[in-house]
């Protein structure tokens, strides 16, 4: 061992010996290319599982898995109508490890869509979007959008019935905006139907363009987290010891060996609550190595284990080859677009354009409305916030079925079948629900004088509605988009 | 520091040892498995065995180039033989065989890539960088009376399939 | 921190276990079991020590028949190892040898073209059963039904005869060895199916058209069930039940309905193997009628102008001015100036075979005289310049070896008109 490590080459490769003091560990974190995305020291609060549930890291790990499996799958995939489906069969039946790689890619893609969404939910409910993190929240929303597009473009590639009709339906939703809708569709498909050129476009977007965009945005996203002083945590933490999870206070202080090399001036450049001499006692930060790195490794392994286990138990779906003359009935978009597909079934304009646009803009503007940092890093901010979230959730879950029932009995099309489209656009479950959400959020703000509570009501309602509509689209809609029970 | 630094599986050192060992194996293992993944189990290439026409469809003295498998089927007074058209140097396809000339006293073919010259009679190298003679393949007859050439089965230069 | 290390060790062990499990799962393929059986049977059938040793060395292998250049691949032989081995005629399935069917060679037709099933699959269930498909529909009265059927399942037993009918449309199925199909066809006529269903250009309009019924419903079980009790599968169907027919008769009818399909022949079989392109090693005779022959004495006229660099350069200049319009920049006969479909088309000077046949005297004569739309240049281009053109034309064909007469003439065609001696010396490669 000594022979291996004690020579010029080894030392040129690893500039520092394996660290054996906390100071050395921190210096290693700082000087190592792969580790320097992490801080040298990390606050104990950030290490508590409940602070983040590791959702950002999970999303990132899934993305790594997707890149590795995706590049490998590319070696056996030709994006052409003649070859694509056959290549899927080959992967399944005659390529060594083809099944497991395809399964992992598929489930990691779904997992990443879910993880990124949950990450957004976590960031909202812990108030982690507050200044100076406003724009990072916006970046996060964009990353969510890119993730959806990545998954969506990958959906077409197997060229089976599921892929073909999901993309046919999905791109049709995109064609609903007035004037530009049809152009967007033609641009996406490279033609008027889902065919050879659409397959090629989706392939290029899926393997080159979107991953590149995602990597750049993600890099900025991570960089900003780091520059904003790590995970958002309660401002008043210095006064209250961190409770539950994480390293103990004793570890935090005992492990830190102050040395002459620690320069506060450098740390001062990093915004946020950086250590300040004389104010904090005891210091609540621990060296990232091993406290953070070990936890990251464990999360990484956890993701791999769950993903591999799921890939063992469930094969990625592969139906019969795409057949443009025999649509699946019902033909459904990918699950994360089923909520929109449900909305489109009431009114194309409102469900396909207005509501998604308002929702996206609303989401992005949250940190610019609610700027009060006093409750950042605390789940739901306060007991009142928690109550507001619960009420908003329950109301949404109750109101949506009620609205759908009213629509099926007393909707515009039932009461006045001949009424112009304008009235359907004006009065349908999607528009009514959006209005209700906006109004209740406004009223909450006026009544409590708290923007945070108003935002809480609005965001909770949005997330709940997204989930409810997705569940409805997935389980309660049958052939011809009529109501069915999930077990039918 | 309350952790024991002494040996034993459940000490810090023991746990880290188990952890890192399993971790590295389960990272390197899949990497190797993925290299296995890249070796194809089935290929979509022309089969090595190719069925040609019936012997009487080939005139005496004719030469037939079979494109997919890249070989010449010659019929001469003695019978049929199949000689590879793939240069043994770097696998270019050689030109067609030409007659004896002042430089080479027998019918021969040039490889256009690096100038190897092969004799038509037995495929041996007359000139150039090619290390060994052209491959000669077995010619046979299928049950339905058609010629069969299998490029996976090599025979020596004297081979003739007599009808 | 020890807690974290404990978790790390545990998670690493689980990760490792799952990796090993995935190795096992990938190596544990269903078809290996059948290849084991095949090897054991081969060993049992071995007649001497050599055969036995060979049999013991039979390993696992992937195998497939690629039909129509990969448009369809059949991997059935990965389990059905012995389809072509007469020693296995009595072996239990999947190792039984296939009976010989005249003029349907295995390597051309594969398996699934006749038998159905998913040829690309290497698992019994997927290969034989095809893909389960559940399709929903809403009836006019608002009820919802789900029709379950299988896409491309294996055609069991005698139903495989349906495939004979898909290609042999005009033949009597009884005469091509498909008695069940023949019986089905007769039944279809006797039972008056045509009264309600249209097939091709005849038939009623009460029921759905059946011209390509075998394509729309490729699941024999669905069809059998439908004959017995149409309403159970197609609610409100007006079709009478045919359960009073015997099992055999229903099978025969099913076979006939399954045969009603339009399958591109490219998915059934590879194109018949033709003797490959014969490359005659002597320049082939240029067909007389298409060829423009100069008078013999003109042909033999020697070129007085040596093919020097200046001569070729001058020829090139003239060519660009007078000839390239029709014969093309590079002499390929593809110039833009020639009318479309011009017959005879402008000569392709880049064609080595054509140029090997041309003598310089002949070229000179043709440039001088012209033919059809090609003008004679006698009055326009001075004599010396015309020879320069000839010298330039000689440089156009790519340099290839065009050795004459090293083989016996493969065809008699050239025999009758032996070229004068010295022909090939004249047609020297260009660029001298």
Q: Is C136 on the interface with A (CB under 8 A)?
A: yes
DSSP letter string over A368-421? HH----TTTTSTTSSHHHHHHHHHHHHHHHHHHHHHHHHHHHHSHHHH-TT--H
Q: What is the pLDDT of residue A248?
A: 53
How far C235 CA lies from chain A's nearest CA (Å)?
16
Contact B15, C5 (CB under 8 A): yes
Strand (E) positions, A170-258?
Answer: none
Cβ separation of C405 and B2 shorter than 8 Å? no
Q: What is the CATH number of the domain that holds A173?
A: 1.20.810.10
> Is the same domain home to A297 and A393?
no
| Tokens encoding B6 | 């002494």
Tell me which chain A residues have a C-beta less than 8 angstroms from the C-beta of B39.
96
∠ CA A348-A349-A350, nearest 5°, is 100
- Residue/partner pairs of A431-437 with CB below 8 Å, 24 or more apart: A431/A347, A431/A350, A431/A354, A431/A355, A432/A403, A433/A399, A433/A400, A433/A403, A433/A465, A434/A354, A434/A355, A434/A358, A436/A399, A437/A396, A437/A461, A437/A462, A437/A465
> Does any CB of chain B come closer than 8 Å to the CB of residue C404?
yes
- Whether residues C401 and B98 touch (CB distance < 8 A) is answered with yes
For residue A92, the chain C residue with the least C-alpha distance is C121
CB contact under 8 A, A95 and B36: no
How many helices and strands in chain B, by DSSP H and E? Answer: 1, 9
> Is A330 part of the contact surface with chain C (CB cutoff 8 Å)?
yes
The complex's ipTM works out to 0.85
pLDDT per residue as tens, chain A (488 positions): 678 878 888 888 887 778 888 888 888 888 888 888 888 888 888 898 988 999 999 999 999 999 999 999 999 999 999 899 999 999 999 999 999 999 999 999 999 999 999 999 999 999 999 888 999 999 999 999 999 999 999 999 999 998 999 899 888 888 888 788 889 999 999 998 899 999 999 999 999 999 999 999 999 999 999 888 888 888 766 444 455 455 555 555 444 444 444 444 444 445 555 444 444 445 678 888 889 999 999 999 999 999 999 999 999 998 888 888 888 778 888 899 999 889 988 888 888 888 988 999 989 999 998 888 888 888 998 899 999 999 999 999 999 999 999 988 888 878 888 888 888 888 889 999 999 999 999 999 999 988 899 999 999 999 999 999 999 999 999 888 888 888 77
Residue A63 CA to residue A67 CA, distance in Å, equals: 6
Residues of chain C contacting residue B105, judged by C-beta atoms under 8 Å apart: none
A312/C135 touch (CB, cutoff 8 Å), yes or no:
no
Taking an 8 Å cut-off on Cβ atoms, the answer to whether A301 and B38 are in contact is: no
A322 & A335 share domain: no
Same domain, A153 and A233: yes
Report how far residue C256's alpha carbon sits from residue C159's, in angstroms, rounded to the nearest whole number: 9
Predicted confidence (pLDDT) per residue in B38-65, tens digit: 999 988 887 788 888 888 888 888 888 9
pLDDT at A296: 94
Name the residue facing A254 among B1, B33, B41 (closest C-beta): B1
Last residue of a domain, one of A302, A328, A354: A328
Per the listing, tokens 């020879």 go with C387
Q: Which two tokens stand for residue C360?
A: 């310089």
Beta-bridge mates of residue C72 = C67
Which superfamily is assigned to C296-426 in CATH? Answer: Cytochrome c-like domain (1.10.760.10)
Number of domain units in chain A: 2
Listed by number, the residues of chain C in 246-285 with a beta carbon closer than 8 Å to a beta carbon of chain B are 273-281
Q: Which of A96, A251, A298 to mutate to test the interface with B (most CBs of B within 10 A)?
A: A96
**Domain membership of residue A251 as a residue range:** 37-328
* Chain B partners within 8 Å of C26 (Cβ): 33
Residues A323 and A350 both lie in one domain: no
Sorted by where each begins, the domain ranges of chain C are 25-125, 131-268, 296-426
Maximum Cα–Cα distance across chain B: 94
Q: Write out pLDDT tens, residues C105-128.
A: 887 888 888 898 889 999 998 899
Residue A163 inside a domain? The answer is yes
Residues found in chain C = 432
pLDDT score recorded for residue C265: 67
Of C22, C75, C146, the CB nearest to A308: C22
Question: In angstroms, what separates the C-alpha of C427 from chain A's closest C-alpha?
Answer: 48
Residue C14 forms contact with A (CB below 8 Å): yes
Say if C131-268 and C296-426 have the same CATH topology. Answer: yes
Q: Do C278 and B50 touch (CB under 8 A)?
A: no
Interface test mutation site (partner A, options C3, C8, C19, C218, max chain A beta carbons within 10 A): C8
Find the range with the poorest average confidence among A335-344, B90-99, B135-144, C392-401: C392-401
- A295–chain C Cβ distance below 8 A for any pair: yes
In 10 A of CB B28, how many CB atoms?
A: 11
Distance CA(C122)–CA(C135), nearest Å, equals: 26
CATH number belonging to the domain at B49-154, selected among 2.102.10.10, 3.40.50.720, 2.30.30.90, 2.60.40.1730 = 2.102.10.10
Closest residue on chain C to A327 (Cα): C135
- Architecture of the domain spanning C131-268: Orthogonal Bundle (1.10)
- CB–CB of A72 and B40 under 8 A? no
Question: Is residue B29 within 8 Å of residue C22, measured between CB atoms?
Answer: no
Say yes or no for a CB contact (<8 Å) between C11 and A305.
yes
Query: In this structure, are A72 and A179 located in the same domain?
Result: yes
User: B1 and chain A: CB distance < 8 Å anywhere?
Assistant: yes
CB contact under 8 A, C1 and A247: yes
Closest residue of chain B to A83, computed from CA coordinates? B44
- DSSP lists the bridge partners of residue C131 as C151
Chain C contact for A301, CB < 8 A? yes
Specify the 3-state DSSP secondary structure of A445.
Answer: helix
Computed from CA positions of residues A183, A189, A195, A201, in that sequence, does the dihedral angle turn out positive or negative?
positive
Q: For residues A321 and C119, is the Cβ–Cβ distance under 8 A?
A: no
Residues of chain C with pLDDT under 70: 264-267, 271-291, 337-344, 353, 372-373, 399-432
Taking only the tens place, the pLDDT of each residue in C224-269 is 999 998 888 887 788 888 888 888 899 999 999 988 887 766 667 7
A240 to chain C, minimum CA–CA distance in Å?
22
- Token couple for C198: 């249209």
Q: Is residue A7 part of a domain?
A: no
How many CB pairs below 8 Å do chains B and C form together?
A: 122
B-chain CB neighbours of C398 within 8 Å are none
Contact call for B96 and C401, based on CB within 8 A: yes
CB–CB contact A97 B41 (8 Å): no
Same domain, A137 and A232: yes
Sequence-ordered alpha helix ranges (H) in A37-129: 44-47, 49-52, 55-74, 84-93, 98-125
Candidates C136, C219, C267: best to mutate against A (most CBs of A within 10 A) is C136
Angle at A381 between CA A380 and CA A382, to 5 degrees: 95
Output the pLDDT for position A261. 40
CB contact under 8 A, C278 and B64: yes
Q: Which residues of B touch C12 (CB under 8 A)?
A: 18-23, 26
Identify whether the C-beta of residue A319 lies closer than 8 Å to the C-beta of residue C125. Answer: no
Q: Which of A294, A309, A320 sits opposite C4 (nearest CB)?
A: A294
At C20 the pLDDT is: 95
Q: Would you call B3 and C64 a contact, using CB atoms and an 8 Å cutoff?
A: no
Nearest chain C Cα distance for residue A86, angstroms: 8
Last residue of a domain, one of A278, A308, A328: A328
In a domain, A16, yes or no: no
- What average pLDDT does the structure give for chain B? 88
CA angle, C395 as apex, C394 and C399 as ends, to 5°? 105
Three-state DSSP at A94 gives: coil
CB–CB contact C2 B12 (8 Å): yes
CB-based contact, C407 to chain B, within 8 Å? yes
Q: What is the pLDDT of residue C286?
A: 38
Among A460, A454, A423, A456, residue whose Cα is nearest residue A439? A454
Given a contact cutoff of 8 angstroms between Cβ atoms, the answer to whether A158 and A166 are in contact is: no
Question: Rounded distance, CA A209 to CA A201, Å?
Answer: 10
Using CB atoms, which residue from A92, A294, A312 is nearest to C25?
Answer: A312
The pLDDT, as a whole number, for residue C342 is 65
Asked if A98 lies within 8 A of B33 by C-beta distance, the reply is no
Overall average pLDDT of the B109-129 stretch: 92
Residues of chain A positioned with their CB less than 8 A from the CB of C71: 82
Percent of the residues in chain C that have a pLDDT greater than 90, as a whole number: 14
Q: Please, which chains are in contact with B (at least 3 CB pairs closer than 8 A)?
A: A, C
Residue C278 has its nearest CB partner, among B2, B62, B110, at: B62
Asked if residue A346 and residue A319 are part of one domain, the reply reads no
Residues with Cβ within 8 Å of C36's Cβ and at least 6 positions away in sequence, in order, are none
Kindly state the helix (H) or strand (E) to which residue C145 belongs, with its residue range. Answer: strand C144-151
């Amino acid at each position: 061992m000594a022979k291996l490590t004690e020579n010029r080459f080894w030392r040129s490769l690893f500039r520092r010996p394996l660290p054996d003091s906390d100071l050395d560990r921190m210096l290693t974190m700082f000087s190592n290319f792969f580790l320097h995305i992490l801080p040298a020291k990390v606050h104990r609060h950030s290490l508590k599982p409940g602070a983040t549930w590791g959702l950002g890291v999970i999303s990132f790990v899934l993305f790594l898995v997707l890149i590795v499996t995706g590049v490998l799958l590319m070696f056996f995939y030709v994006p052409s109508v003649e070859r694509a489906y056959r290549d899927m069969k080959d992967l399944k039946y005659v390529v060594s490890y083809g099944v497991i790689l395809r399964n992992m890619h598929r489930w990691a893609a779904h997992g990443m869509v879910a993880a990124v969404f949950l990450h957004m939910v976590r960031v909202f409910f812990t108030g982690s979007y507050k200044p100076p993190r406003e724009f990072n929240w916006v970046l996060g929303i964009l990353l969510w959008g890119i993730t959806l597009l990545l998954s969506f473009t990958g959906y077409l590639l197997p060229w089976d019935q599921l892929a073909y009709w999901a993309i046919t339906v999905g791109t049709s939703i995109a064609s609903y905006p007035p004037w530009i809708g049809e152009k967007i569709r033609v641009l996406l498909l490279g033609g008027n139907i889902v065919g050879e050129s659409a397959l090629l476009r989706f392939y290029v977007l899926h393997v080159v363009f979107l991953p590149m965009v995602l990597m750049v945005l993600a890099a900025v996203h991570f960089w900003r987290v780091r520059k904003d002083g790590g995970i958002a945590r309660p401002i008043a933490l210095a006064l209250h010891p961190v409770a539950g999870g994480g390293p103990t206070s004793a570890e935090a202080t005992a492990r830190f060996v102050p040395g002459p090399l620690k320069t506060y001036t450098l740390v001062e450049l990093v915004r946020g609550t950086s250590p300040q001499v004389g104010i904090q006692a005891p210091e609540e930060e621990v060296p990232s190595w091993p406290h953070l790195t070990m936890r990251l490794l464990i999360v990484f392994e956890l993701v791999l284990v769950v993903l591999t286990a799921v890939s063992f138990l469930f094969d990625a779906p592969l139906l019969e080859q795409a057949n443009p003359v025999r649509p699946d009935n019902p033909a459904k978009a990918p699950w994360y677009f089923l909520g929109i597909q449900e909305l489109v079934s009431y009114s194309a304009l409102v469900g396909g354009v207005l509501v998604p646009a308002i929702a996206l803009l609303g989401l992005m503007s949250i940190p610019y409305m609610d700027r009060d940092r006093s409750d950042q890093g605390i789940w739901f901010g306060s007991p009142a916030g928690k109550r507001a979230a619960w009420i908003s959730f329950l109301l949404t879950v109750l109101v949506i079925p009620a609205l759908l029932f009213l629509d099926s009995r007393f909707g515009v099309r039932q009461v006045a079948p001949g009424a112009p489209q304008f009235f359907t656009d004006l009065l349908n479950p999607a528009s009514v629900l959006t209005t209700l959400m906006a109004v209740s959020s406004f009223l909450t703000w006026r009544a409590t004088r708290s923007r945070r509570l108003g935002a809480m009501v609005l965001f909770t309602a949005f997330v709940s509605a997204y989930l409810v509509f997705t569940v409805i689209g997935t389980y309660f809609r049958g052939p011809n988009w009529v109501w069915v029970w999930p077990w039918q | 520091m309350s952790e024991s630094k002494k040996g034993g599986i459940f000490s810090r050192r023991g746990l880290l040892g188990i952890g890192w060992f399993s971790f590295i194996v389960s990272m390197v293992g899949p990497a190797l498995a993925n290299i296995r993944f890249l070796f194809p189990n089935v290929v979509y290439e022309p089969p090595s065995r190719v069925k040609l026409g019936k012997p009487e469809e080939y005139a005496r003295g004719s030469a037939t180039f079979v494109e997919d498998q890249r070989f010449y089927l010659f019929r001469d007074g003695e019978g049929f033989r199949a000689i590879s058209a793939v240069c043994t140097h770097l696998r270019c396809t050689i030109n067609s065989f030409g007659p004896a000339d002042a430089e080479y006293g027998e019918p021969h073919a040039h490889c256009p890539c690096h100038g190897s010259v092969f004799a038509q009679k037995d495929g041996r190298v007359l000139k150039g960088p090619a290390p060994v003679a052209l491959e000669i393949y077995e010619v046979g007859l299928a049950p339905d009376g058609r010629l069969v050439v299998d490029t996976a089965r090599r025979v020596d230069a004297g081979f003739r399939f007599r009808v | 921190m020890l807690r974290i290390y404990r978790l790390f060790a545990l998670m690493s062990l689980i990760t490792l276990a799952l990796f090993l499990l995935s190795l096992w799962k990938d190596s544990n393929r269903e078809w290996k079991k059948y290849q084991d059986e095949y090897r054991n049977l081969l060993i049992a059938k071995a007649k001497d020590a050599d055969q036995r040793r060979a049999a013991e060395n039979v390993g696992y292998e992937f195998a497939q028949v690629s039909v129509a250049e990969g448009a369809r691949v059949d991997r059935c032989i990965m389990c059905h190892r012995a389809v072509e081995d007469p020693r296995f005629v009595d072996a239990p399935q999947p190792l039984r040898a296939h009976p010989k069917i005249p003029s349907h060679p295995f390597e051309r037709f594969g398996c699934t073209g006749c038998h159905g099933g998913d040829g690309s699959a290497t698992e019994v269930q997927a290969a034989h059963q095809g893909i389960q498909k559940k399709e929903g529909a809403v009836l006019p009265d608002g009820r919802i039904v789900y029709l379950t059927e299988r896409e491309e399942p294996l055609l069991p037993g005698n139903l495989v005869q349906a495939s004979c009918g898909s290609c042999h449309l005009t033949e009597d199925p009884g005469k091509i060895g498909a008695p069940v199909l023949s019986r089905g066809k007769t039944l279809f006529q006797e039972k008056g199916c045509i009264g309600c269903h249209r097939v091709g250009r005849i038939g009623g309009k009460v029921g759905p058209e059946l011209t390509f019924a075998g394509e729309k419903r490729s699941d024999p079980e669905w069809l059998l069930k439908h004959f017995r009790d149409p309403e159970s599968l197609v609610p409100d169907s007006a079709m009478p039940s045919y359960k009073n027919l015997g099992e055999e008769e229903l099978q025969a009818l099913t076979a006939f309905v399954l045969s009603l399909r339009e399958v591109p022949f490219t998915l059934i079989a590879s194109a018949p193997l033709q003797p490959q392109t014969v490359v005659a090693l002597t320049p082939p005779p240029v067909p007389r009628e298409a060829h423009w022959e100069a008078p013999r004495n003109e042909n033999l006229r020697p070129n007085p102008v040596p093919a020097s660099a200046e001569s070729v350069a001058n020829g090139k200049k003239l060519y660009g001015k007078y000839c390239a319009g029709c014969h093309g920049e590079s002499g390929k006969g593809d110039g833009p100036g020639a009318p479309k479909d011009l017959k005879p088309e402008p000569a392709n000077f880049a064609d080595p075979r054509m140029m090997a046949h041309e003598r310089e005297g002949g070229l000179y004569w043709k440039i001088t005289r012209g033919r059809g739309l090609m003008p004679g240049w006698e009055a326009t281009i001075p004599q010396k310049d015309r020879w320069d053109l000839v010298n330039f034309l000689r440089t156009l064909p790519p340099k290839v070896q065009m050795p004459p007469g090293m083989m016996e003439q493969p065809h008699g065609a050239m025999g009758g008109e032996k070229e004068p001696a010295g022909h090939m010396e004249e047609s020297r490669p260009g660029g001298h």
